[in-house]
Structure 1
Amino acid sequence: MREIVVLSGKGGTGKTSFSAALANLAEGKVLADADVDAANLHLVLRPRVSEAYPFYGLPVAYIDRDRCGQCGQCADFCRFQAIVDFSVRQEKCEGCGVCAYICPGGAIERRPRQVGEVYISTTVAGPMVHAALVAGAENSGKLVAEVRRRARAVARAENLSLIITDGPPGIGCPVLSCLPDCDLAVLVAEPSAAGVHDLQRLLQVLQHFRVPAAVVINKWDIAVQRTREIEQLCAGRQVPLLGRIPFDSTVFRCLQQGQCYLAASDAPASRATRQVWQELQQLLEHGRAVNENAAELAQTM
């Protein structure tokens, strides 16, 4: 089983559209939407939910009114103003536990709170694992890990050899939750000042955690000089450049109709993406050959 995680240093680079394209090109795969803060892969793949599981976030405080002496110390010590009239406003509670620690009557305890759901669905491109957060709930990376765990369980159950994960943007905790056991991170970059800067930061994170990376430049022709900067950055860091996808208004028209842009097979973006997929397949096969050679060498030593 191998896992490709599609990442981007910033939002708006076309990461999810590219992930949907990979989902339509690859065979024998499971799809995972780990961008749970702003999940939108389902808008293109239109999943039909077959299983749903509750997701519980960090514990929050709960006050037992029968045991509460109404001394008010919990409200005085709460740094988040989450306790009003001897009850906890869960949307403000950070679960730090200070109120439970100082309560003289032991009337406060922390309880898990459901903040979302994880879904296993079927799509025209294959099985898909995705999630939804309650409005205002925070994603600590725990939900990302749960989505990936269930995606691997589906892959094992259905004997599928590839997982394609649409990861979150940036370099924060949700991104770090996508990296363990990842075989390759495919970075979708855009040719802009922010795109180059954030790509550089993301490459530094991946290098620190020793995660192999490859880069795709999306909308490369809107700023050719920035595209050259990305190419020089990849060459300097010895990161494979899988290809360049041009700006194509067909992509937006397909998205407006809830379709993957590969549906327009003659569109420039569609042709370029298919070439990128061929390069990506070769890179995966090369990596597999290297791993097999390393295993054989280890057996002879």
Structure 2
Amino acid sequence: MKEIVVISGKGGTGKTSITASFAVLGGNDVVVSDCDVDAADMHLLLKPDFKFSEEFYSGEIAYIEQSSCTGCGKCFDVCRFDAISFNNSHYSIDPLSCEGCGYCSQVCPTSAIINKSRLSGKWFKSGIKTGSKMIHARLDIGADNSGKLVAKVKNEAKTLANKEGKPFVLIDGSPGIGCPVVSSLSGANFVILVVEPSVSGVHDLKRVYQVVKNFNLKAGCIINKANINHEKYEEIKDFLNEENIIHLADLPYNENFTKAMVNGMTIVEYDQGELVRILTQTWEKIKTIV
């Protein structure tokens, strides 16, 4: 089983649209893993059935047992996150502000404050329209530890792929270089970088590749909207040559990408022209590489 991770240095490069297209082209050979848990949207294109779900707990949150609270206010005095407030004659904790550090429970003279495991979101195992499976998740509003949820999603996808004898796990990673990206890259066999030829696109490509380089991972690059800025396109090509990154494909700007998304479809389902040919050839090239 080979693990292919698709990432981008910035949002809006077409990363998820391209990943979903590869999922359709890969069909039943691919277990899809949506690791962009902070802003998951792969489900819009692959139509999962949400057949199985499980709550995900990570980190801690403080809770005040009102029957034991004397209202001394010591917890309020020591909280540095402004998570504790006094209203209606009692103290309470705002779950969005609480960092679960436990300091308040340490100073409480009556042990009225305890730390509980924080419900951070849910993860799902779904059948999708390709006939294969997808592991995906939803991080709750204001929840942290997205890297741990990514690790959970990845591990479940790998377990499922091994169990069902699937040759590929295809991972849609988060944009940027944060903890979710690092978690997505761990254990990967091949990384696909999706970039657009713009000032921010070039800058963030170089930045995210430094993360990939630290993992000593083999990488390829797809330049999306390749014809919108010739100068930046050439700059990207020079960078790929300097770093020995495989230049996988150039995708021209095409409004059918947007039309496909509006219709809840991948571009390889919606468009039967040049884009399908390029993406099909690229997927075959990726399979050969890994």
For the criterion TM > 0.5, the same-fold answer is yes
State the alpha-carbon separation in 2 of the partners of residues 283 and 227 from structure 1.
24
Superimposed CA distance per residue, residues 161-190 of structure 1 (whole angstroms, 9 cap, x where no aligned partner): 210000000000010111111111101011
Amino acid of the structure 2 residue aligned with 1:157: K
State the alpha-carbon separation in 2 of the partners of residues 177 and 145 from structure 1.
6
Amino acid of the structure 2 residue aligned with 1:107: A
What's the % identity of the aligned pairs? 40
Shift, 1:31, TM fit? 0.3
Question: Is 1:117 aligned with 2:122?
Answer: yes
| Aligned counterpart, 2:94 | 89
CA contact (8 A) 1:265 1:271 kept: no
Amino acid of the structure 1 residue aligned with 2:252: P
Amino acid of the structure 2 residue aligned with 1:121: S
| Aligned counterpart, 2:275 | 269
| Aligned counterpart, 2:108 | 103
The SS at the match of 2:50 is strand
Higher deviation after alignment, 36-45 or 137-146: 137-146
TM-score by length of 1: 0.91
The SS at the match of 1:247 is coil
CA contact (8 A) 1:100 1:106 kept: yes
Superimposed CA distance per residue, residues 116-171 of structure 1 (whole angstroms, 9 cap, x where no aligned partner): 11010001221001111223323431111111111112112212121000000000
State the alpha-carbon separation in 2 of the partners of residues 198 and 92 from structure 1.
30
State the alpha-carbon separation in 2 of the partners of residues 276 and 223 from structure 1.
22
Higher deviation after alignment, 62-71 or 131-140: 131-140
CA contact (8 A) 1:10 1:198 kept: yes
State the alpha-carbon separation in 1 of the partners of residues 280 and 254 from structure 2.
15
| Aligned counterpart, 2:60 | 59
Amino acid of the structure 2 residue aligned with 1:260: T
| Aligned counterpart, 1:138 | 144
The SS at the match of 2:185 is coil
| Aligned counterpart, 1:289 | none
Change (3 A) 1:30 1:128: same
State the alpha-carbon separation in 2 of the partners of residues 139 and 13 from structure 1.
25
Question: Is 1:38 aligned with 2:39?
Answer: yes
Shift, 1:111, TM fit? 0.4
Poorly superposed stretches of 4+, deviation over 6 Å: none
Q: For the aligned residues, what is the CA RMSD?
A: 1.3
Question: Is 1:210 aligned with 2:216?
Answer: yes
CA contact (8 A) 1:10 1:195 kept: yes
CA contact (8 A) 2:3 2:171 kept: yes
Question: Is 1:227 aligned with 2:247?
Answer: no
Superimposed CA distance per residue, residues 188-222 of structure 1 (whole angstroms, 9 cap, x where no aligned partner): 01100100000001111111121221111001001
| Aligned counterpart, 1:17 | 17
Amino acid of the structure 1 residue aligned with 2:12: G
Superimposed CA distance per residue, residues 10-42 of structure 1 (whole angstroms, 9 cap, x where no aligned partner): 000000000001101114110010001111110
State the alpha-carbon separation in 1 of the partners of residues 66 and 216 from structure 2.
51
State the alpha-carbon separation in 2 of the partners of residues 4 and 227 from structure 1.
24
Any gaps of 5 or more consecutive residues in structure 2?
none
